[in-house]
Structure 1
Amino acid sequence: MMQDLPPDPPAVVAPAPAQSVSTADRVRVAAALTDARVQVDSSFRGASIVLFGAVFNPTDAPADVVVVVRGPDAPVRLVKKTRNAGVWLNGRPVLFEGAPGFYMTASTRPLSDIAEFGQLRRLGVGVDHLRINAPEESRTVTRYGVRDVVVSRLGEDYLDWRRAVIRLREAAALYDTDPDGVRFVDRGLFRAEVELPAVAPTGQYFAEVWLFQEGEPVSVSNLTLTVEKVGIERDIFEFAHRRPWTYGVLCVLLAALTGWGASRIFRRN
């Protein structure tokens, strides 16, 4: 006796795989860091991080790569010495807000050959175009028939003070400009090195990789880098900021105890 076989199961149609958007006809740049986290302890003597990437350029026009790495902003206090009656005295201190604690630019060639002054100023690319906030104190004056024009109390000396900020940071290896810092190692592949000195501030760093073509920015890749304290240094740092009064009292007691112990050890019989 023959039995009817069960009907065949319905055919299952697999969904078509998702198609990626084609970017073959776009000029763009992609980049990454060899290490996105730097740990700082008592033995930290600086770090060298490699930034690498690729340029996708289907056109015949050449392209330039500019790398900008900016560290956390921090206030900068400057004092200018003045000579009064033959005596050098400290003048009124000037406090700049928002100056980057670290700033580096690297490019395939000098920035002035890549883009015009106005374009670099708009993007804030380059030490000469770095945005550093002036002191908050200001006054209002009338300039060229326009009332209520806000002017920094530094007046025309603002640029001199700004140059002093940059000069001090460059002397500490915290600001750097390398017109040949980006090198192409193969067709479309490039690399650049980010040198962090031992005095580099901790916090969040931001890296921008700009791709310029015919003097115009056509693509940008944004990266982040974290520099953080580890070990006992981090514990002391966090304790000092969470409980500053307790930290201050403990420091005074420790100094007094150290002085008393030294006097007991080295006292003369």
Structure 2
Amino acid sequence: MFQDLPPPPPAYEAPAPEQTVATASEVRVAAALTDAQIKVDTGFSGASIVLYGAVFNPTDVPADVVLVVRGPDATVRLVKKTRHNGVWLNSRPVVFEGAPGFYMTASTRPLPDVADFGQMRRLGVGVDHLRINAPEEATTVTRYGVRDVVISRLGEDYLDWRRAVIRLKETAGLYKNNPDGVSFVDRGLFRAEVDLPATAPTGTYFAEVWLFQEGAPVSVSNLTLTVEKVGLERSIYQFAHRNPWMYGILCVFLAAGIGYAASRIFRDR
């Protein structure tokens, strides 16, 4: 006799991946670098780094990605040619102590199309909104027969000096703006390239990946990049900064020795 077989088990359904409420409903951006450490030696001719990431956007509102990379701050010393009595002379130097050694922006669209002027100014995004510390100028004056030092700002001339800093950096390839530098390679996946010239300063670089919707920032991802010297160049660099007086003396003796050897060689000929 045939016996009734038990009913088959229900079909197995894989459980849905666990997601937090914030991950499922929040608009956010995540990014990473292909190489977070660049080594500089005597043969360094520049480097190209790829930044990639993903946009999590559960809404139907389109989003824009803006990348900002800022290098270590460095002192910039400027002088301006002025004419006195038919002779061109250098003006007193103006020193900017907070100018980044490298600065670039890349975006999916031109920055004015992503957000308005005020929004970009508050975030400091774009060369036009780059925060550069205004220098203080030491002016020696005489009042009532007593010499005094008055500290004053550059006043209206600050904008002209600031433009000069940006113009020099752009000429050297250290300040860049690429309005089409961020591209989506797939739905929600994007990439951008960070090109460092051979003159890029060493130190820690900070990258900010902003996500904009309807002209407002909704998320940001922060990354760091290190550019450091290696090999013999690193040893010489460290020695020069730790023992500047000894380094200077050795350079003088080395130059004198090379000059003496060259004079003997050419004299014998």
Give the TM-score, by structure 2 length: 0.87
What's the CA shift string for 1:221-254, capped at 9, x where partnerless? Answer: 0000000000000000000011111111111111
8 Å contact 1:134–1:152 — kept in the other structure? no
Range that drifts further, 202-211 or 240-249: 240-249
2:232 aligned partner: 232
CA distance in 2, matches of 1:24, 1:153: 51
Question: What is the identity, as a one-letter code, of the residue corresponding to 2:20?
Answer: V
CA distance in 2, matches of 1:38, 1:246: 29
Question: What is the identity, as a one-letter code, of the residue corresponding to 1:29?
Answer: V
CA distance in 2, matches of 1:196, 1:117: 28
Question: What is the identity, as a one-letter code, of the residue corresponding to 2:214?
Answer: E
CA distance in 2, matches of 1:260, 1:100: 42
1:260 aligned partner: 260
What's the CA shift string for 1:155-211, capped at 9, x where partnerless? Answer: 111101100000000000000000000000000000000000000000000000000
CA distance in 1, matches of 2:182, 2:152: 37
Closer/same/farther in 2, CA of residues 64 and 138 from structure 1, 3 Å limit: farther
What's the CA shift string for 1:25-83, capped at 9, x where partnerless? Answer: 11000000000000000000000000000000000000000000000000110000001
8 Å contact 1:74–1:100 — kept in the other structure? yes
- SS of the equivalent of 2:256 reads helix
8 Å contact 2:134–2:153 — kept in the other structure? no
CA distance in 2, matches of 1:26, 1:153: 45
Alignment of 1:87-98 (within 5 A): 87-98=87-98
CA distance in 1, matches of 2:107, 2:163: 22
8 Å contact 2:107–2:182 — kept in the other structure? yes
How far 1:137 sits from its partner (Å)?
3.2
1:44 aligned partner: 44
2:206 aligned partner: 206
8 Å contact 1:181–1:192 — kept in the other structure? yes
Q: Percent identity?
A: 78
Question: What is the identity, as a one-letter code, of the residue corresponding to 1:213?
Answer: Q
Give the TM-score, by structure 1 length: 0.87
How far 1:21 sits from its partner (Å)?
2.8
Question: What is the identity, as a one-letter code, of the residue corresponding to 1:61?
Answer: V
Closer/same/farther in 2, CA of residues 43 and 268 from structure 1, 3 Å limit: same
1:4 aligned partner: none
User: Which residues of structure 1 form unaligned runs of 5+?
Assistant: 1-18, 140-150
8 Å contact 1:27–1:57 — kept in the other structure? yes
1:247 aligned partner: 247
1:168 aligned partner: 168
2:158 aligned partner: 158
How far 1:138 sits from its partner (Å)?
7.5
How far 1:20 sits from its partner (Å)?
5.8
Q: Structure 1: which 4+ aligned runs deviate by more than 4 Å?
A: none
1:61 aligned partner: 61
8 Å contact 1:135–1:152 — kept in the other structure? no
User: Which residues of structure 2 form unaligned runs of 5+?
Assistant: 1-17, 140-150
How far 1:127 sits from its partner (Å)?
0.3
